[in-house]
Amino acid sequence: DAKTTQPNSMESNEEEPVHLPCNHSTISGTDYIHWYRQLPSQGPEYVIHGLTSNVNNRMASLAIAEDRKSSTLILHRATLRDAAVYYCILTTGTASKLTFGTGTRLQVTL
Amino acid sequence: KAGVTQTPRYLIKTRGQQVTLSCSPISGHRSVSWYQQTPGQGLQFLFEYFSETQRNKGNFPGRFSGRQFSNSRSEMNVSTLELGDSALYLCASSLAQGARYQETQYFGPGTRLLVL
């Protein structure tokens, strides 16, 4: 499976935008980029996914580089409830077998 | 719509025993996947079931098994428990319609298993 690289941790102030980077230099042409997050004491939660174009939903935006070797999850206004571990995952063949890396632990402070 | 439910939420067993965990997917979802989460190994895929058949399998010993019923509910079983099996076991369901590589997985809260 193609590998992703994320920073171990990031910090943000509440109400400020957060940009969570993900490198996936070995991505193949058919790999989708998925983001999930895991809040404390909960199961992972879907955030957003995309293939080539930037994507927006009510939770976040996904900016995908033109060469697709990196992507950025954007939380427009971080709140304390966004404190979680964020996982960037490439789906090769099936999205029902997710390969989780170590993710980025996001801390949000007042 | 109710989310993915898992029972029990917490379980304590001793080495050598076996355990069965249950997962009820979101209504209408046909695929159920299981994951193990430990502090050392993170989240690891165990297996996926679709239409009562195992469709994908992770790299776990044969002590880990599962099954899916006709109503899409799934169970996983771990036999001859070892201390290292202590973990959070997560179940995820998906619709399993259309392109599989862009399906959204919906996770349950997990079952926390402690093996003494």
Indicate if the pLDDT at residue B110 is higher than 90.
yes
Query: For residue A32, which residues of chain B lie inside 8 Å, CB to CB?
Result: 101-102
* pLDDT over 70 (residue B100): no
The chain A residues in contact with chain B (CB within 8 A) are 30-32, 36, 42-46, 49, 51, 87, 91-102
Question: B87: Cβ–Cβ under 8 A, 6 or more apart, which residues?
Answer: B36, B37, B38, B112, B113
Min Cα distance A86 → chain B (Å) is 12
Position B96 scores a pLDDT of 77
Does residue B2 register a pLDDT over 90? no
**Cβ–Cβ gap B43/A43 under 8 Å:** no
CA distance B74 to chain A (A): 15
How far is A76 from chain B, CA to nearest CA, in Å?
Answer: 22
Question: What pLDDT, on the 0 to 100 scale, is given for residue A18?
Answer: 97
Which tokens go with B105?
């997985």
pLDDT of residue A17: 96
pLDDT of residue A97: 82
Do residue B56 and residue A96 have CB atoms under 8 angstroms apart? yes
- pLDDT, tens digit, 9 for 90 and up, residues B68-96: 999 999 999 999 999 999 999 999 999 87
The confidence score (pLDDT) of residue B24 equals: 98
pLDDT tens per residue across span B9-44: 999 999 999 999 999 999 999 999 999 999 999 999
The three state secondary structure string of chain B is CCCCEEECCEEEECCCCCEEEEEECCCCCCEEEEEEEECCCEEEEEEEEECCEEEEECCCCCCEEEEECCCCCEEEEECCCCHHHCEEEEEEEECCCCCHHHCCCEECCCEEEEEC
Q: Taking CB atoms and an 8 Å cutoff, what residues of chain B touch A93?
A: 100-101
Per-residue confidence (pLDDT) for residue B103, from 0 to 100: 81
B48 neighbourhood in chain A, CB within 8 Å: 94, 96-97
- Residues of B with Cβ-Cβ distance to A4 under 8 angstroms: none
Tens digit of each residue's pLDDT, chain A (110 residues): 668 999 999 999 999 999 999 999 999 888 899 999 999 989 999 999 999 999 999 999 999 999 999 999 999 999 999 999 999 999 876 667 888 999 999 999 99
A51 to chain B, closest Cα gap in Å = 9
Q: Is the model's pLDDT at B102 over the cut of 90?
A: no
Distance CA B83, CA B96 (A): 34
